A and B are shown apart, each in its own frame.
Chain A
Amino acid sequence: MKQSSTKRQIRLGEIAYARSGDKGSGANVGVIARAPEGFAILRSYLSAARVEKFFKPLGVGKVIRYELPNLGALNFVLPRILAGGASRSLRTDAQGKTLGQAILEMKLTIFKRDWMRLKLPVRSAQSQGDEITQPGVARNATL
């Protein structure tokens, strides 16, 4: 229970925006903090390993993370994620157009003190209710 009083679950899209595109059979996704203070959260919670695990169902290779502190952004290079890329992939999304939208659905369990630093406007009680971390939710959050 102590966990749930110090942590909360958020959707990445609440604190970041993103854009993705293809590079041959790989792709990249840039994740940018909505507020300058959000970059520290991205940096500490959104590791290359975390992103690699998230995109595993698409067969991604070794993910590389680059930091762009000047833009409050991270860039993830996602090798082999397109199963052949624009010319060969059989998938609906052969060009990685959807990966930005997908990563913004990632759930992150973060310390409330990190959340407070964001100074975001208080959200409705209903949406907050959904996001208080319950034991076990953190495991599901890794998808």
Chain B
Amino acid sequence: MVDKPQIKIGNAQGFWGDSVDAPARLVSQQPDLDYLTLDYLAEVSMSILASQRERDPTAGYARDFVEVVRSLIPLWQKGSKVRVISNAGGLNPHGCAKACAEVLHEAGIRSMKIGVVTGDDVLPLLKAAGTNGGAKSKLFANLETGESLTKVSGALVTASAYLGAQPIAKALTAGAEILITGRVADPSLTVAPCVAEFGWDWNDHDRIAGATIAGHLIECGAQVTGGISTDWLQIPDPANIGFPIVEVSSDGTCVVTKPKGTGGLVNERTVKEQLLYEIGDPDNYLSPDVTVSFLSLQVREEKKNRVRVGGARGRPPTSSYKVSASYRDGFWAQGMLTIFGRNAVAKARRSGDVILKRVREAGYELQRSLVECVGAGACMPGLLDRSIEAELLETLLRVTVADPRREAVERFTKEMSPLICGGPQGVTGYAAGRPRVHPVFGYWPCLVDKKELNPQMDILTSKG
């Protein structure tokens, strides 16, 4: 393939809701960027997309991505060669590709190739297994609890397998300049261009492990450039935090960096923190492309804001894909009030009890409820000394409830504001109005045999 010593891969979207102008900014800050990866899919994102698709069958993908493509057009017109790889396709990668093609067409770009990867949707497979007398439902048992799928199969909303890098790499090799997928493993967005550019064999597990590490490091955007770091107060210019770039070499090692002139920080600490983010057994990091050991990794700061990561070891991947399924599980709502004054925490707790008691007396025994006093150590009960709690003059009362019945949760939303007149003195912060009722989507992680799936890729062009 191409004899490139290294390729530069950036990430400018760590989740759906991340900075909307970050992609165009990153490309203009780093004009020689080869690939831009954008992640839109958290575990719950698919269920949000499912609700959108119910209302409009052409929806079901991250609309924000189409705007990102629009924002990149001037850069492509000025000669940028950056190729974009994103899971923005969600439940409807073809719909997403069509919308992007229209935007490009309107701008007069007629020759761009859009790759689409599909085959991650396993909802029909799970639904069939759940209804087939339950014979196959054991196959899709909950990975965390071991429960059989029959428990939720009637309420399933989405089920997507985390595909690997292979179909993406194939589409890139076929010339795709914008690559849209549904659910894929986040690091695979980075592994694919490495394999496409360097021509690695899929059995070259150590190099693919190295690229997987590179992908793992940038998949959450600014989390590796100083974001959420323990020493965040010391990072320079956080308002202008740079998004990450990995310079991956053909030997599978990489340098983590960020564009010159941006804020934030890349050092051994920010890199080590992100290496440990959301991992389990560090000797068995599972991706659809490879099983990685972190135990041989070497992390070394070469220069300011340049950290080399090498030494990854890989083994063959497992024979299954991980599946993330979601199911309808009732409704929830949260309400908040600020309580100020002497004994604020005691007043807040009593107010919480009042709210729940009134819902009960209205005839609704709520399935689940929680009263928290934010500011009094709600996130880590037991950590804050009780005597300090008594001294606090201010707390944010947060009451959260969940129930299978929408009307029960709705009743709760009407019981917050009566405290404005009937609660303790010093209740404020209610200008946002009544709480909103949201659906609950339960999370169902399971496995599917790789043989059951057939990931596909197609190439479209912007002429439509």
Contacts and interface: CB of A to CB of B under 8 A. Distances in A.
Interface residues of A, number: 42
Contacts of A75: 276, 279-280, 282
Contacts of B277: 19, 21, 30
B346 to A, nearest CB: 19
B295 A70 contact: yes
Nearest to A19: B273
Contacts of B296: 70
Interface stretch (A43-51, A80-88, A119-127): A80-88
A17 interface: yes
Q: Is the interface of A mostly helix, strand, loop or mixed?
A: mixed
A66 B443 contact: no
Contact of A92 (B143, B280, B378): B378
B123 interface: no
A87 B440 contact: yes
B380 A57 contact: yes
Contacts of A68: 276, 282, 294-295
Interface in A73-96: 73, 75, 77, 85-88, 90-93
B140 interface: no
Interface string A15-26: 001110111111
Contacts of B144: 24-26
Interface string B159-186: 0000000000000000000000000000
B185 to A, nearest CB: 14
Nearest to B230: A17
Contacts of B361: none
Say which size band chain B's interface belongs to. Answer: 35 or more
B332 A86 contact: no
A19 B228 contact: yes
A143 B228 CA distance: 26
A28 B297 contact: no
Given A17-B269, A26-B144, A90-B402, A98 B443 contact: no
Interface stretch (A1-9, A100-108, A109-117, A131-139): A100-108
A90 B401 contact: yes
A9 to B, nearest CB: 15
Interface in B240-288: 269, 272-283
Contacts of B445: 24
A54 B295 CA distance: 26
B116 to A, nearest CB: 28
Contacts of B443: 24-25, 85-88
A102 B440 CA distance: 28
Interface stretch (B59-67, B194-202, B365-373): B365-373
B441 A87 contact: yes
B379 interface: yes
A58 interface: yes
Given A68-B276, A105-B380, 10 more contacts: A21-B277, A23-B278, A30-B275, A70-B295, A73-B272, A75-B282, A90-B334, A93-B379, A97-B228, A98-B380
Interface of A: 13, 17-19, 21-26, 28, 30, 32, 56-58, 66, 68-73, 75, 77, 85-88, 90-93, 97-102, 104-105, 143
